[in-house]
Structure 1
Amino acid sequence: MTKNNKHLLAATLLLGSLAGCADFSGITAQSTLRSATDVGLASAATNPAPAVDAQWWRAFGDDTLDQLVAQALQANPSLKLAQTRIAAAQAASQLSDAARQPQLNAQLNLTQQLYTANGAIPAPLAGTERGSGTAQLAGSWELDFFGKNRAALQAALGNERAAQADAQAARVLLAAQVAQSYFAWVGLTEQRNVANRTLAQREQTLQLVQDRVKAGLDTPLDLRQAQGALPDARLQLETLDEQIALTRNALAALIGTPNQPLALVPKALSAIKPIALGHQLDTNLLGQRADVAAARWRVQAAEKSVDSARAQFYPNINLTAFAGFSSIGFDKLFKSGSEQWGVGPALSLPLFDSGRLRANLGSKTADRDAAVESYNSAVINAVHDAADQLASRQAISRQQAEQAQAAQAAQETYAAAQQRFRSGLLNAQQVLSAETAVLAQRRQATELATRALQNQVALARALGGGFSPSADLPN
């Protein structure tokens, strides 16, 4: 073994022994991840297909809705913002990866200099003006023995995957918002049709009461009551018109065309088909929710950042090399004898840094705990959200069954009143009164049908909205 190699080995062993001086004791993570069983999810098959189709809104069979969602996904700024975050995360991953690779730089220095005659520079340079130059290639490669750069790369990749999941979550949320607003528009339009018929019925009632007052069959009090019912009917129409306008404005904003009229006509409620969705919550839910997946990737990224911070306590070893030319006098720069080169390792180990490394590790560990608690919160919210939507679906179904019976009874009563009117046993006012119950049931049926559609949208979103992770989630 040569003398230089012995010196190198001795230096390496010395730095290795000093590694024991690095102290990160007492800095440990405190938070733990919630498992699926912790939140009451049943076991399920591994890696199933998504519970919801990626374009679930098409299953409603409504071309108008399809057009609105397509416009929103193309033009909404929130999705474009999510894409920029993906680009930033990808750039950060490329930067971390570059730190693991060899680096090569070219250098050219040309200097005209007056050398001091009263300094340490000897003759013949002292007191003369000379040119000097250096032209060389310099390279370095950090040997990542303790995984600092490797962990930093994994952290950056975790953040990149989290950004991709965030973009998918934004897409699912946007499609759901469009569908919810559209079905609200459909329902309000149907409600307005019922309100129009209610106003017409009350106008007919007023005319009948006016005729009966003239004939001495009703009192002025009856007339006043009939007149008072008209403003209430008109108020309902005005209220519905305002809600329709606000809903249309919300839709226009979602598709990126605010303050512009929608040149679309909503379908009738009866023309919209229900979609088939799951009815059981299991462990697959956590992998099918983009927001949960994003939170899990951020935990992984935070854990790798902790690993990278801990690795900074250990020796840093670089291989460096240079080769080129150096001379005093520009005319000699590339001549024989101006060559120079060098190669060797560079080793460093922090021994005293006033607690900087411990503070950095403590910060990264706290970030990791925060990421874990954010994940736990996302898991709880996801299960709560899905459970709520399933409970609402069951409740709405029961309410619709009861309402259908009430509507049938009101319709049968109205039909009987019409029959008795034709037989001369009831007057027209009594028939109109019987129709009031039918109109009330129509309003109730419309509200429940609208709620049922909006619940299906909310359930599709709660079950993941068709999200499928591009990479396996970390365990």
Structure 2
Amino acid sequence: MDAHVFPNRPRAWPLALLLAGSLAGCASMHGLHTHATAIDPARVEASQSLAGSKLSAAAWPQDAWWTRFGDPQLDRMMDTALSGQPGLRMAEARVRQAQAVAGIVGASLYPQANASLRSTRQRFSEDGTVPPPIAGSWQTINELSLGVGYELDFWGKNRAAVDAALDRAHAADVDLQAARLMLTTALARTYLRLDLAYAQRDLAQDTLQQREQTLALTRQRVAAQIDSQLELTQAEAALPATRERLAAIGESIALINNQLAALQGQGPDAGARIARPQLAQVSEVSLPSNLPAELIGRRPDVVADRWRVEAASQDIKVAKAQFYPNISLNGLVGLQSRGFDNFLDAGSRVLGIGPAISLPIFDGGRLRGNLGVRQAGYDMAVEHYNATVIAAVHDVVDQLVSLQWLQQQAHEQDEALRLTEHAYELAQARYRSGLANYLQVLSAEGQVLAQKQQVLQLQSRQRELRLNLIRALGGGYQPAAVPGATSVAHVQAPGSKS
């Protein structure tokens, strides 16, 4: 560009750049560093706890894991919940918000241009700095300008800020998957409770039928003067208690249906249309052969924490870059004139270009404090990640341990039920033959009922533990992107030695 365009060009700004660089060490980062180290999941000791488990490379849950239950009604309810649950839509909105924030921060990487047009009708003071004939007169001042600015990101501050915002957007997206997993497992768990309630109702109806038969037999014995009115009254009193149990189960079914409707984001009438579950038998549980190393990439909560660690490491880079000069280039081109007659003439043009430099020299410790905050935030993010990893491994082992011990409980429970049913049959036989009284029959019947209830509870708990294992393994989540390596190492910024 020739000298006619920019007359008297300043040649001092390269010297200013050199001086700014030499003064950069005035704000010191000495003594500030992070303390936390991210845990290596492969070193979490769990081999002994997982020993004896059936392993399979294909044992990770599928995305639509609930289809394993083989219930079309449950599949439809899951689809409805995933598309219309308000809590899930809130999580989706948070993802869009984080992405928009990343877009705002990302604007700092590009030049900024602004245009302005102004026309002002102004009376100039007769006693001001403007000389006659303009002084004391009304004039129209017209200005048209286009300003361009670009910050030179020598120290990577803007790039690190953008990366931090993108990492938080990734974390918000993974939080959405965590909310999705929480919703689907809550819906499935409630559906299992509904299936248990129907099974309990069947048991209560069978008990009512048995007690009605016993009442008929007791009436015959009273008529034959084998039993007294006392035994008849006891047999009659057993029926209202059983009907009360049926009414309580009916209330439980209605309330569970309401909960299922709420989890789907629908009104109570949707719950009234829910039919009895038709769940298939879930196959034997097996564990992935690459536990616990790959668990960190399968659990949404762990992956989200990894992204937050990455974002915190980028925040440190931003804080460290603020110790160095901030340099930008600014340019201006436009027109300025008094009146409209010569507004578009070449002589009305206004041109300008030059650097702008700001350098922290003494700030009372603000920059050091800000860096300390970011480093502490990084340490907290790393330790939270470590705690999440350890909790995730324990979660898997807890479900596995409970399933293993539940098998032994179920075996013993089946034997207890067999024995109590045999005792009940003997008591009935003795009662029919007149060798036992009704109290013995009632006691044996109560034991059978208690054992059958326990069997139902164990079967329900087994399915719930398998559901919990699916959740503990991440519910079929597979991340689209994985955080970089800076989240597991001590973070350094350009020019730092701390």
Normalization by structure 2: what TM-score?
0.85
Separation in 2, partners of 1:185, 1:193 = 13
Q: What displacement does 1:106 show?
A: 1.0
CA distance, structure 2, for counterparts of residue 179 and residue 244 of structure 1:
15
The match for 2:335 among 322, 325, 333 is 325
Alignment-derived partner of residue 459 in structure 2:
449
| Residue 10, structure 1, aligned to residue 30, structure 2 | no
Distance 1:41 1:8, change over 3 A: farther
Q: How does 1:137-216 map to 2 (within 5 A)?
A: 137-216=146-225
Q: Distance in 2 between matches of 1:397 and 1:279?
A: 20
Please state if 1:99 is matched with 2:108. yes
* Residue correspondence of structure 1 range 68-79 to structure 2 within 5 A: 68-79=77-88
Q: Distance in 2 between matches of 1:306 and 1:299?
A: 11
SS at match of 1:330: coil
What 5-or-longer segments of structure 2 have no aligned partner?
A: 51-56, 486-498
Deviates more, 1:227-236 or 1:294-303: 227-236
Could you say if the C-alpha distance between residues 320 and 361 of structure 1 is closer, same or farther in structure 2, counting changes exceeding 3 Å?
same
Partners in 1 of 2:304 and 2:257 — Cα distance? 32
Separation in 2 of the partners of 1:314 and 1:447?
66
Cα RMSD, aligned residues only: 3.1
**Secondary structure of 1:119's aligned partner:** coil
Whichever residue aligns with residue 111 of structure 2, its letter is P
Change (3 A) 1:4 1:42: farther
Corresponding residue SS for 2:341? helix
Preserved contact between residue 190 and residue 268 of structure 1 (Cα < 8 Å): no
In structure 1, how many angstroms separate the alpha carbons of the residues matched to 2:46 and 2:160? 32
1:353 aligns with 2:367: no
Distance 1:80 1:315, change over 3 A: same
- In structure 2, the CA distance between the partners of 1:268 and 1:128, relative to structure 1 (3 Å rule), is closer
1:303-318 matches, within 5 Å, as 303-318=313-328
Q: 1:238 aligns with which of 230, 247, 272?
A: 247
Partner of 1:323, secondary structure, is strand
- AA aligned to 1:25 is H
Q: 1:113 maps to which residue? A: 122
Residue 20 of structure 2 corresponds to residue 25 of structure 1: no
Deviates more, 1:217-226 or 1:66-75: 217-226
One-letter amino acid of the structure 1 residue matched with residue 247 of structure 2: E
Q: Distance in 2 between matches of 1:143 and 1:125?
A: 43
Decide which of 56, 63, 66 is 1:57's aligned counterpart: 66
Deviations 1:242-289 (A, max 9, x none): 3222211111110112322331322355x4443654266412112110
Partner of 2:227: 218
The change in CA–CA distance for 1:249 and 1:277 in structure 2 (over 3 A counts) is: farther
1:280-303 superposed Cα distances (whole Å, 9 cap, x missing partner): 641211211001111111111122
CA–CA separation in structure 1 for the residues paired with 2:13 and 2:288: 68
Question: Residues 137 and 41 of structure 1: is their aligned pair in 2 closer, same or farther, counting only changes over 3 Å?
Answer: farther
Contact 1:51 1:466 (8 Å CA) reproduced: yes
Q: Is the 8 A contact 2:297 2:479 kept in 1?
A: yes
8 Å Cα contact 1:115/1:126 also seen in 2: yes
- Residue aligned with 2:347, SS: coil
Which residue of the other structure, out of 31, 34, 41, is the alignment partner of 2:39?
Answer: 34
The C-alpha deviation readout for 1:220-252, integer Å capped at 9, x for no partner, is 443444344334323432332232222111111
Change (3 A) 1:426 1:286: farther
| 246-255 or 381-390, larger mean C-alpha shift | 381-390
Moved more, 210-219 or 181-190: 210-219
- String of CA shifts for 1:159-197, please: whole Å, max 9, x gaps: 000001000011111111111111110111011110111
Following superposition, the deviation at residue 81 of structure 1 comes to 0.5
CA distance in 2, matches of 1:200, 1:428: 20
Would the aligned equivalents of 1:155 and 1:302 in 2 still touch at CA under 8 Å? Answer: yes
Q: 2:311 & 2:390 partners in 1: Cα distance?
A: 21
Matched residue SS, 1:284:
helix
Q: Report the counterpart of residue 403 of structure 1 in structure 2.
A: 413
The alpha carbon displacement at 1:441 in A equals: 4.1
- Identical pairs, percent: 42
How much does 1:425 deviate? Answer: 9.8
Structure 1 pair 4–132 and aligned structure 2 pair: CA distance change class (3 A): closer
Aligned-pair distance for 1:407? Answer: 3.9
Choose from 277, 282, 289 the match for 1:267. Answer: 277
1:332 partner SS = coil
In the alignment, residue 33 of structure 1 is paired with which amino acid?
Answer: A
Query: Which amino acid in 1 is paired with 2:394?
Result: H
Displacement of 1:398 after TM fit? 2.1
TM-score by length of 1: 0.89
Give the drift of 1:371. 2.1
> Could you list the runs of 5+ residues in structure 1 that have no partner in the other structure?
none
Match of 1:255 in 2: 264
Q: How many Å separate the matches in 1 of 2:295 and 2:332? A: 56
The alignment of Structure 1 onto Structure 2 pairs a total of residues equal to 469
Tell which deviates more after alignment, 298-307 or 78-87. 298-307
Tell me: CA distance 1:337–1:308, structure 2 relative to 1, closer, same or farther (3 Å).
same
Letter in 2 for 1:376: N
Q: Which moved more, 1:333-342 or 1:188-197?
A: 333-342
Pairwise CA distance, 1:412: 6.0
Give the match for residue 373 of structure 1.
383
CA displacement 1:428-471 (0-9 Å, x = unmatched): 97889876665544333322221111111111011000011110
